[in-house]
């Protein structure tokens, strides 16, 4: 039976990279019935909403989606359509593999990290209070009445909630994934020395869960120390489990370790639903210019194939991408040693080179 998958092209460079991934999957001969659903700029134009209900319904129905990046409108409406999608669909785990690919500009050949970011809580819940509002001043007065530490009147406030439920769910997910992927160590990333209750709960829950997995090594590290250690010796780490905000930042840092956002793939996983997307954003300055690297979205599609149980196809896809990058000829500007290299190709040409490799490897 044909597998139905929701395809959200997104906006900015989204439609170009989503099309690249779709073409690669078609070249693999995977029988997917793509259900196109809009979000972001095109959805606002056509449906009058940045995140139409039918897009959410399509993902809920198909349970699997591939998505291009979406611009976050500054100052109005959704804080972020991407965050809204993750929250609406309870995609609680953001999984981002970061591994060395030969032919990239990465200076860290030993890197092979698996980032597991909590996606549902932390400062991203959007519970915020604007400075100067009566409700904010009221909140500050209440806080100052019950807390020894005082908040300065006139402050803006963002709330950072961590629940035992979410901490337990994400750390169990990280250990189960480590087991499935034959990983040796899971490291909890936190700032529990300062945030004793929120990050403290994350760390304590991690330690409880870790005790249930005696075959997997476990450890913890403070996020600032991790940042330094990652740029010194990323090979010292294996699976990292992080709260939402640190996960967001460290994901980009790890994308930098492996050669840039153009090759960093990701998956947002829930209990029922999975949504695959590149780590990068909509790169508006390159929209419609046939410029950006399609690899991150193509590798995200590879993660989707693996999720669908199409492991062999996922392997062919990954090998095809790696072969093109290793050859270094038909690659976009970001993968050339000099970003202004006139021999760099566009999104379409790099995709065609990958498709050629897919066909050769599928014979």
Catalytic residues: 124, 191, 224, 248
Residue closer to ligand NAD by CB (options 58, 72) is 72
Residue closer to ligand NAD by CB (options 5, 70) is 70
Which position's Cβ is nearest ligand NAD? Answer: 281
Q: Tell me how far, at minimum, the Cβ of 260 lies from ligand NAD, in Å.
A: 6
Residue closer to ligand NAD by CB (options 96, 313) is 96
Task: Identify the sign of the CA torsion 51, 118, 25, 69.
Answer: positive
Residue closer to ligand NAD by CB (options 200, 256) is 256
Q: In what order do the strands lie in the sheet with 185-190?
A: 32-36, 3-8, 64-67, 274-278, 265-269, 93-99, 112-118, 239-242, 185-190, 217-222
Q: Tell me how far, at minimum, the Cβ of 142 lies from ligand NAD, in Å.
A: 33
Picking from 2, 31, 5, the residue whose alpha carbon sits closest to that of residue 18 is 5
Q: Tell me how far, at minimum, the Cβ of 86 lies from ligand NAD, in Å.
A: 9
d(CA 346, CA 334) in angstroms, rounded, equals: 11
Residue closer to ligand NAD by CB (options 285, 329) is 285
Q: Tell me how far, at minimum, the Cβ of 97 lies from ligand NAD, in Å.
A: 16
In this structure, are strands 112-118 and 274-278 parallel, antiparallel, or unpaired? unpaired
Q: Which residues contribute to the site for ligand NAD (CB under 6 A)?
A: 69-72, 82, 261-262, 277, 280-285, 292-293, 296, 334
Q: Tell me how far, at minimum, the Cβ of 344 lies from ligand NAD, in Å.
A: 10
Assign 3-class secondary structure to 247-267.
HHHHHHHHHHHHCCHHHCEEE
**Side-chain-facing half-sphere of 147: CA atoms under 13 Å:** 10
Token pair, residue 43, equals 């959805």
Q: What is the dihedral of CA 195, 196, 202, 208, to 10 degrees?
A: 160
């Amino acid at each position: 039976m044909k597998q139905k998958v929701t395809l959200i092209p997104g906006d900015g460079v989204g439609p170009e990279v989503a099309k690249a991934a779709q073409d690669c999957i078609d070249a693999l001969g995977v029988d997917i019935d793509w259900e196109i659903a809009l979000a972001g700029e095109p959805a606002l134009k056509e449906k009058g909403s940045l995140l139409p209900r039918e897009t959410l319904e399509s993902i809920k129905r198909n349970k699997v989606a591939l998505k291009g990046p979406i611009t976050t409108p500054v100052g109005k409406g959704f804080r972020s359509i991407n965050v809204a999608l993750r929250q609406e669909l309870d995609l609680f785990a953001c999984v981002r593999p970061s591994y060395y690919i030969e032919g990239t500009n990465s200076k860290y050949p030993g890197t092979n990290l698996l980032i597991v970011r909590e996606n549902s809580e932390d400062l991203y819940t959007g519970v915020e209070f604007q400075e100067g509002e009566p409700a904010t001043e009221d909140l500050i007065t209440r806080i100052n009445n019950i807390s020894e530490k005082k908040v300065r009147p006139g402050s803006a406030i963002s709330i950072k909630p961590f629940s035992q439920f979410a901490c337990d769910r994400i750390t169990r997910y990280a250990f189960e994934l480590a087991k499935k992927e034959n990983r040796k160590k899971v490291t909890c990333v936190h700032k529990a020395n300062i945030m004793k209750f929120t990050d403290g709960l994350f760390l304590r829950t991690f330690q409880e869960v870790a005790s249930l997995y005696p075959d997997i090594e476990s450890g913890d590290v403070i996020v600032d120390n991790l940042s330094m250690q990652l740029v010194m010796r990323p090979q010292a780490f294996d699976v990292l489990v992080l709260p939402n905000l640190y996960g967001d930042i460290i994901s980009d840092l790890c994308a930098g370790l492996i050669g840039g956002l153009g090759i960093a793939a990701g998956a947002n996983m829930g209990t029922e639903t999975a949504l695959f997307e590149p780590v990068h954003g909509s790169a508006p300055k390159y929209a419609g210019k046939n410029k950006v690297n399609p690899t991150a979205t193509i590798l995200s599609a590879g993660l989707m194939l693996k999720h669908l149980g199409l492991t062999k196809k996922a392997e062919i896809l990954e090998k095809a991408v790696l072969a093109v990058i290793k050859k270094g000829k038909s690659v976009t500007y970001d993968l050339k040693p000099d970003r202004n290299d006139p021999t760099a190709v566009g999104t379409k040409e790099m995709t065609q080179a990958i498709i050629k490799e897919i066909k050769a490897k599928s014979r």
